[in-house]
Chains A and B, each alone.
Chain A
């Protein structure tokens, strides 16, 4: 009886059912648990410190938001390598507006207005940059990896020109106080921004026609066109969203560092791609789940913070570790994918 009840519960709750079916999600959960367990045992004191968790929650939204955008593009069988460029360009734009409208010593009302205008401008910049990516991919038909690599250089170049390569600092204090602050002195605001952004993406992916369409487009672009999907518009909207999320990441970085610079977050490009692939999104498109990507974000943040607690592991090792993990995950996915496809083809052979 109880078994049957669990069964109906499982089948009624879509995500639970998916979880029980999706071996990749299970694998990620195990990975997360192992990491948490390892650091909890080895570095008990540092790891169970509220400050550790708060600093993690301040940091991961930066690349987490970028990864969400990359995820969307990868579901359409594309990729967005320009996210860091978009983030820095948007953040620098916002900084320029704030510094221009509310120089040091401006009254709070002016500062508030300047911050509002700056945020709007940054998000608009991000969306426009993303739309440019989408245009290049969908209309000019440049392979996404080249198009976005090109625009990454382009956006970074614009950022360097604006700043002359120096950091923009001296923002109104209010900006940092709000966006790098903590709600009730406990929950970091970037975490809240990330949570809201994630819920919105989740709604978009599961509750709108757009969500279904980008999965279909990523699975088979020809069939999508033959089914009457407006593939151009879908791609432009996807890359626009990715740009928008990247600019949001830029705003979080601007608050966290209290400044903007053309080369902040330079390791985030690879990190975002790594997260999305680790989260189980198929680089060939059409496959992947938001939950997996969120888990991958947490895993990498915990890995990163955990490594920080070992003073003898230098930061210089980090790119080596990220690159190694990326290749290991892709190889593992590829091998297990091959095994499962082998299994299905064998199964089909047997029904013959």
Chain B
């Protein structure tokens, strides 16, 4: 087994009595692309920190390049060829690309004076390794996310790296950038460098990973090859639960639409958007970032005024003067960024839930605290928000439970139309399924639901119709029953056929 780059054997680690890792085994061969998958909180970050020498394991050993370590310092890990690229890339945004690349080497060699020519040479060599063409004098803070990542990769390669660990490398990248990244990774693989991806999304790394190790609650539950894995088994390993992968089936629909847009236009954001939505439907709106999907949602919610076109609620034209008018008109909106737009993190869960309907809880000028408590308790129960006490602050909860709070806030206003912008971003898989289940039930009970999302499986599985937005226009309407995820993804990113028509 000495041909392994890295062999983790029987590693356990606990923090203050909480078992973060128990008896983990993991082997990575030279040139292997390995995916370490697990939900938030499963222990994958801890494992990386053990491998890179940040945490000492309580039990077990780490073998790097044939040398067995009981404990490891970060410096030893780097010297042994282990490099970690964290999600934030750990670059200095206020320094140039050249400085970022050359600084470590220069510091390590303890030079007191700066020699700019040597700086430039070091940096040029570093970017040449991955054919990365970048202005070396550009400030790193001004680079795109993908380019920052490439700077981090170049830097990692400067020392003699044998294993590069990448934490959620594709999350913030566009499809094109992901393709470029994968090309680089295949090139590194050809040079015998092993890659360990850390991810909780199957789609992101499925096509490139050669082996998967999935951990749950600090235990490695499976090590398998890609062909042994599909979304359902992957989810099952990650969560320990089995989810039906059934498509949403729409019930019988009343003829009268709940919401209708006719040639709705907001200058500079989107134009000529028309659709109609009946109670009981779940309408998907998908498109890339900047396609106008969020602006459309904000307009439906009264935050933006349309410059042209008409909006009809239950058949009668409306012009919302603002968010309050939209809420009064029966529209609810679960915003894109729950932390800044949805939640009052330091306030209690109960206050968060009742705030949008608090005026209905007032009797004779005073807040009816019993009704408030009862309402909060009811929603905590109905949406299975995992808290011992609704009086606790919202920031005591996980992302999935926080999203349920935002959902509860809107359900409490009993809207006719519920718009959700990225309903499951940053939510663990279990909660994601639960939220989808809730949305289906709501549609079943006659609510009109709009899901705005670029999570293609999410819209395909949970909507009965999907509108595709591109550059501010609705370019397609898709029946999720007949269109596959791959086809929709191609439609979404394929700019070429759109331009070809002009």
Contacts and interface: CB of A to CB of B under 8 A. Distances in A.
B351 A215 contact: yes
B340 A220 contact: yes
B335 A230 contact: no
A229 B355 contact: yes
A349 B55 CA distance: 13
Interface in A336-352: 344, 349-352
Given A208-B366, A208-B367, A222-B340, A350 B333 contact: no
Nearest to A228: B327
Interface string A184-211: 0000000000000000000100011101
B323 A228 contact: yes
B365 interface: yes
A316 interface: no
Given A209-B367, A352-B40, A352-B41, A226 B344 contact: no
Interface string A211-232: 1110110011011111111100
Given A212-B351, A223-B340, A352 B45 contact: yes
B343 interface: yes
B15 A223 contact: no
Contacts of B46: 352
A64 interface: no
Q: How large is the interface on B (under 10, 10 to 19, 20 to 34, 35 or more residues)?
A: 35 or more
Given A219-B344, A351-B41, A352-B45, A226 B367 contact: no
A228 B324 contact: yes
Given A219-B345, A226-B333, A352-B41, A208 B355 contact: no
Contact of B344 (A216, A225, A344): A216
A210 B58 CA distance: 53
Contact of B20 (A209, A228, A344, A350): A350
Given A228-B327, A352-B20, A208 B362 contact: yes
Interface string B10-24: 000001101010000
B346 A227 contact: no
B440 interface: no
Contacts of B40: 352
Given A350-B20, A352-B20, A352-B41, A230 B344 contact: no
Contacts of B18: 350-351
B367 A211 contact: yes
Nearest to B343: A223
B contact face: mostly helix, strand, loop, or mixed: mixed
Interface in A285-309: 286-287
A216 B343 CA distance: 9
B341 A223 contact: yes
A216 B351 contact: yes
B43 interface: yes
Interface in B406-439: 409, 413
Interface residues of A, number: 27
Contacts of A220: 340, 343-345
B88 interface: no
B347 interface: yes
A333 B323 CA distance: 36
B359 interface: yes
B457 interface: no
Given A212-B355, A212-B367, A350-B20, A222 B341 contact: yes
A223 B344 contact: yes
A219 B346 contact: yes
Given A222-B341, A227-B409, A286-B347, A209 B335 contact: no
Nearest to B394: A219
A349 B16 CA distance: 11
Nearest to B409: A227
Interface in B354-391: 355-356, 358-359, 361-362, 365-367, 369
A76 B367 CA distance: 19
A207 B362 CA distance: 9
A224 B323 CA distance: 11
B362 A209 contact: yes
25 contacts: A208-B365, A212-B367, A216-B344, A216-B347, A216-B351, A219-B346, A219-B347, A220-B343, A220-B345, A223-B343, A224-B344, A224-B355, A225-B323, A226-B303, A226-B323, A226-B341, A229-B355, A349-B15, A350-B18, A351-B18, A352-B20, A352-B40, A352-B41, A352-B43, A352-B45
Interface of A: 203, 207-209, 211-213, 215-216, 219-220, 222-230, 286-287, 344, 349-352
Given A223-B342, A226-B323, 19 more contacts: A207-B369, A209-B367, A212-B358, A212-B367, A213-B355, A215-B351, A216-B351, A219-B347, A220-B340, A222-B341, A226-B333, A227-B409, A228-B323, A230-B324, A286-B346, A350-B15, A350-B16, A352-B20, A352-B43
